[in-house]
Amino acid sequence: MKPSQQIYLLLFFLAVSIQTACANDAQQKRFIPVELFTGAKWDGTHQLTLNPVSTTTCAPYDGRPCSNFYISGPLKTTENNTQIKWAGSEISYYRRTFTIPHRGEVISFFTINDSKDGLVRIYDKRQQWGVRKYDGLGSKFPLGYWRQGEVRTYPSRRPTKIEIIELDDPNHCLTFRWVVGQGKKSNQDNNYTFCPNRGLTKITPNNKSK
């Protein structure tokens, strides 16, 4: 084989390898829109926007009967008492409510975090805690571009970690693990599954201690 032919074959196989690597890379990366959280219809645009929604989804928790989660908004705070600098003096947020058997209603406010790669809880009210307000530096739901198996941590008051368990299953559902602090107490280490046009569909605790 002539040297020129060897060079041609080498370049050919190199190009094929690069194309294959790029294809595999694209398959392992996914854009996660806000609409996957809300259950609203997504138009395919790779932008993070809090569009008007009023949705309901139902998700079981560790064998407990399916609970209805209601999401509405966006609404706006009258001031910004968080570390979310991009929001300016007011914060647009979604209001989510659901009921825990024997514990009453839970009300939470969610918005895009300061790093713009997740939805973060900035307010929470429930019977066992009362009212809690957060700095906006954590994350409760991944947004934007993520990869299969990726792990990110957030420097909130109690450090938060998100790990992608299943980036894009056959139904395009997303499953991720959310851990707050050391994750040693109940509801501090859970797997969540969200599906297109439905929102939250399943909650699986990894730590069932009280």
Query: What are the b/e assignments for 114-139, b being 16+ CB within 10 Å?
Result: bbebbbbbbbbbbeeeeeeebbbbbb
Q: Find the mean pLDDT for residues 107-124.
A: 95
Q: Is residue 138 domain-resident?
A: yes
Q: Find the mean pLDDT for residues 128-136.
A: 87
Q: Is residue 24 domain-resident?
A: no
Q: Is residue 5 domain-resident?
A: no
3-state secondary structure of 198: coil
- Which of 6-20, 40-54, 100-114, 167-181 has the lowest average pLDDT? 6-20
Q: Quick: pLDDT tens for 67-79.
A: 899 999 999 999 9
Q: Is residue 20 domain-resident?
A: no
Instruction: Indicate the residue type of 175.
Output: T
| pLDDT confidence of residue 97 | 96
Q: Is residue 4 domain-resident?
A: no
Q: What is the pTM of this model?
A: 0.82
Number of domains within the chain: 1
Instruction: Indicate the residue type of 172.
Output: H
Residue 115: domain span: 29-205
Q: Quick: pLDDT tens for 135-180.
A: 998 999 999 999 999 999 998 778 899 999 999 999 999 999 999 9
Decide the pairing of beta strands 118-126 and 141-142.
antiparallel
Rounded distance between C-alpha atoms, residue 68 and residue 172, angstroms: 22
